[in-house]
Amino acid sequence: MKRFPKILGRIIAALKEARSVAIVGHVRPDGDCVGSQLALAEALAAQGKEIVCWNEDAIPQKLAFLDPGKRLQPPAPGRSFDVVVALDAASLERLGSVAPFILERQILANIDHHASNTRFGDLNWINPRSPSTGELVFQLLKAAGWPITPPIADCLFAAISTDTGSFQYDTTRPTTLYCAGELVHRGANLARISDEIYQSYPLSRVRLLQHVFNHFRLTHHNQIGYFWLKPADFTRTGTASSDSEGLIDHIRAIEPVVVACMFEQVEPEIVRISLRSKSPRLDVNAIARQFGGGGHHAAAGARIAGRPLSVQRRVVNAIRKALDQAGQSHAHV
């Protein structure tokens, strides 16, 4: 019989005793965040719990099929909860405007897989070895003995698939593939999930990708690839900031590139960066931490105050230094 961490048992006990539960996730939710939130919400609702599922930002359009009942909503005032569960959020700040609405609670459970997690909960189950929070929620449901229905399986498969790059990232483990197989066995609609998430991009996003291919730059012996997205780019292509998810992977996929970086100007002097590495020797989480951010070894990000070109110089120089220290210069991975 599989043994589960003691902290997981404590979280399950709290959830079983609770009558009201808020399930919250990070700003700009991705597939792992949305899938994990909706799967846990569905499972707890089936147990007769009073559930709210909150996020500062709307669900990305490509993930809307996971939420036909529109369970994921912006936060609302005047609520108190027995338990609040934060999923896939490395810090309280990552919850954005949701944070002030979950102060009236008995217990805050923090479930996450980011090594940079600040352990902000009363109960913290942090497993950086897990490639996704969705896999942790799968373990939670199994340990609790709660049914994994086809809609729940869809949500968890989407969560795991998106955060492992369709099982291509080196964070993918044998247990991840076992989990995915279990979810398909329990009714996850693999064909629909793949079509909705990976094969149904709107034309506007293709125009945004065209902009990226027309304007990306390579430096440091072509081992650093970077590009900018500014408000005018979204306006011109008819896209939103949420449509930028996954664009960086196209630059990361260029053969000599070791580290890809997306710079997004969110305010005149606030820049959001996303970093991706494809070398086991190059930890972009360490780079992001230099700028107050964090994430994973191969994927991380930060929000940086400063003039755009100044931010670009600082970040690219930090990547160059990390490449040199990792012994990646002039060498292919």
Residue 19 belongs to domain spanning: 6-198
Residue 298 lies in a domain: yes
pLDDT score of 333: 40
pLDDT score of 329: 53
Ranked by mean pLDDT, which of 65-74, 290-299, 319-328 comes out on top?
65-74
Q: Are residues 33 and 173 in the same domain?
A: yes
pLDDT score of 243: 86
Q: Are residues 61 and 89 in the same domain?
A: yes
Q: Are residues 218 and 155 in the same domain?
A: no
Average pLDDT, the chain: 94
pLDDT digits (tens, 9 = 90+) for 184-243: 999 999 999 999 999 888 899 999 999 999 999 999 999 999 999 999 999 999 998 888
pLDDT for residue 330 is more than 70: no
**Length reported for the chain:** 333
pLDDT score of 295: 85
Q: Compute φ and ψ for 45, nearest 5 degrees.
A: -60, -40
How many domains are contained in the chain?
2
pLDDT for residue 255 is more than 90: yes
Pairing mode, strands 105-112 and 81-87 = parallel
Q: Which of 148, 135, 116, 134 is nearest to 297 (CA)?
A: 116
The pLDDT confidence band at residue 328, using thresholds 50, 70 and 90, is low
User: Region 236-256: what's the mean pLDDT?
Assistant: 92
Q: Which of 153, 168, 198 is the last residue of a domain?
A: 198
pLDDT score of 2: 59
Residue 34 lies in a domain: yes
pLDDT digits (tens, 9 = 90+) for 256-310: 999 999 999 999 999 999 999 999 889 999 999 999 998 888 899 999 999 999 9
CATH number at residue 254: 3.10.310.30
pLDDT for residue 73 is more than 50: yes
Query: What's the pTM?
Result: 0.88
Q: Are residues 189 and 310 in the same domain?
A: no
Residue 227 lies in a domain: yes
Alpha-carbon distance values, 116 to 8, 15, 261 (Å): 20, 25, 19
Query: How far apart are alpha carbons 137 and 125 in whole angstroms?
Result: 11
pLDDT digits (tens, 9 = 90+) for 50-62: 999 999 999 998 9
pLDDT score of 115: 87
User: Region 111-124: what's the mean pLDDT?
Assistant: 94
